[in-house]
Amino acid sequence: GTPPDSTRSSRPCMATKAIHLASRLPRIATLAPRATPRAYTASRTLISPARAAMTSPKTELVHFSDTYQTSCEAKVVNCEPVEDPGDDGVARFVVVLDRTVAYPAGGGQPSDTGRIVGSGGVPFAVASVASTKDGTVTHLGEFEEEGTAPFNADDEVTVTVDADKRLLHARIHSAGHLLDVAMTNIGFGPDVMVPAKGLHQPEQAYVEYTGKVEGLDKDKLMADLKAEMNKLVSLGGGSAAAMMGYDEAAEACGGELPSYIPKDSTPRIVTIVPDTAGCPCGGTHVANVKEIGSVDVTGVRVKKGTTRVSYTIEGMKDHK
């Protein structure tokens, strides 16, 4: 597919302070690697340029600081009807809030779904969440009772997302980052295959790498990756995320950032396993890789200089 989107934060740059994904875990003091890991040289496009680099989005993204927070208070910025209601004739609306706990689709990760409830008490069912180029998050859906008056600007509402779906998506996305670590650990790091883009959905998950190895034994690669990923899950380790200045972010990612990250930006860097190279990412992630659960590597496809590694975890379709 095309390079997927990601997310941005309205929080100030926290150059040396790691934001833990869950407050119940001990804080990781720094995201900078212990040694000099292999850099994510060309492109880690699990996120898009717009979302990876943007530091002042229109909508505050609550999930940036806590994957496990599934509800928040917010104010309505606007609520507009969708011009084409669709074949079923149901009136649908796009709701924009000043802040949201809902994750907008991007980075290969699907959006949250959930509800927005105002003083009227009739829930607005959120079917999908998206983000525009300027960082405005839109919630598409419909009121659960036909004829309900739409929200007004400045209405106070509560946003709640499906907690089980949120955690499943975070586990799948985290497994994609863990796959990168496993690739490096078994000798296929970014100096051999550069992480390019990924898909992290319950129906299908993979990471694509730029590069190929002549005579690659696909079965052995799959077996080695499965063993390494499950070993990492068993060992555990706290993940962390932080907004960083450009130079510090480059250091945390092994010495180099993808070219689409502007040098005047403060990208959000995620490190999925302590003392390994991080990468720019706006997604939701588990606080400890133990939460990913069992992993299976289900396929390796090599085509036109790109190697795709597919995987599943517990809770995904077709996981064995």
List, for residues 196-221, the tens digit of each pLDDT value.
999 999 999 999 999 888 899 999 99
Percent of the chain with pLDDT over 70: 82
The C-alpha atoms of residue 25 and residue 10 are separated, in whole angstroms, by 24
Res. 38 pLDDT band, cuts 50 70 90: very low
Q: Is 234 or 31 the better-scoring residue by pLDDT?
A: 234
> Cα separation of 147 and 302, whole Å?
53
pLDDT band at residue 288 using 50, 70 and 90 as cut-offs: very high
Cβ(98)–Cβ(59) under 8 Å? Answer: yes
- Mean pLDDT for the chain overall: 83
Please give the Cα distance from 239 to 170 (Å, whole number). Answer: 12
- pLDDT exceeds cutoff 80 at 222: yes
- Residue with the bigger pLDDT between 293 and 28: it is 293
Closest among 183, 228, 175 to 206, alpha carbons compared: 175
The pTM of the full predicted model, rounded to 2 decimals, is 0.83
| Contact between 31 and 240 (Cβ < 8 Å) | yes
Judged against a pLDDT cut of 70, whether residue 154 lies above it is answered with yes
CA 195 to chain centre: 15
- Tell me which residue of 19, 4, 51, 62 sits closest to 271, measured CA to CA: 19
Q: Whole-angstrom Cα distance, residue 96 to residue 135?
A: 11
How buried is 31 (Cβ within 10 angstroms: 0-12 exposed, 13-18 middle, 19+ buried)? Answer: buried
